[in-house]
Structure 1
């Protein structure tokens, strides 16, 4: 009888030991699975965050791309055409538009430090004159357009242009004054209908 108890005792101990080992293995496996799952979650989160970071960079690049010198030139030529047509109200609207596009011009890339400094000064001056044009009568608009044209010519000397431009010159207006045009044919923004064809092509750009 005592032998039987002994056998039962040994079996019971063996059972308890096996059960404990089994639970420990299960716990370890569960812990391993949990760690793996956590790592996967962190990996997924990092990937998601990485995507968000890249999206932010793309948006920033897209925003920077909007502020280019061609937009400034387009607004400048529209303003020039309004002055050629003696249209004071239209010139006011376009002066405001040009001030905005000048203020948005991206000078962060592809320029040396000295060019960036020059562009900053050019833009600040040009914005001031464009704003004055948005508030003035046509005689004063033309006075500000003279200085504005010089600023835009200086800007193009740094930024370059993808299109052929014509620097034109009127010897009659304020001791001689230049402006830019996309066409070789002279249409004078300083005199408009009074002396529409007064001037000459001084040089071609690009």
Structure 2
């Protein structure tokens, strides 16, 4: 396997993943609360791996040939982001218990986290544009080393989401006060609402 191609895939993948977005904001919040971190990180990393593999295999050409698919995904994702943003804004305006400890509803919280993470991942058209189309097209330029490039991109995804999910606990001290959580939820609400409105406007 070509080490330069792996390194190129890692750098390209990381540059696309670390941008502030709905998925990263959600992973950060789950990491801070310590709820379903392994499941959330696993969903994000495995989803990226599957989409990157599709892009490297040439599936991006199929997506490009059917732009209506991205329109449908964009509308559905936009509505979901708006709903999630409203919930985050509500938490910021009327905060409930924001303690970092889990409680007796751990099973329900995990189920909610998993479903939310799946929606934020697969209903975001930018995920398809970044992984399937963009990374897929760059990988195609690598010729026989395209799978090495894809491997590097997958490693970047695993590294980023693991660091974000588990490294977030390092911020649990500064975010131990209710005011800090209100500010965090306010920032998440602004991110989700802005992205949701943008996706809907772009899809119409």
Same fold (TM over 0.5): no
More helix by share: 2
Greater RCO, 1 or 2 (C-alpha within 8 Å, sep 6+): 2
Give the structure with the higher percent strand: 1
Q: Please say which structure displays the higher CA radius of gyration.
A: 1
TM-score, with length taken from structure 2: 0.28
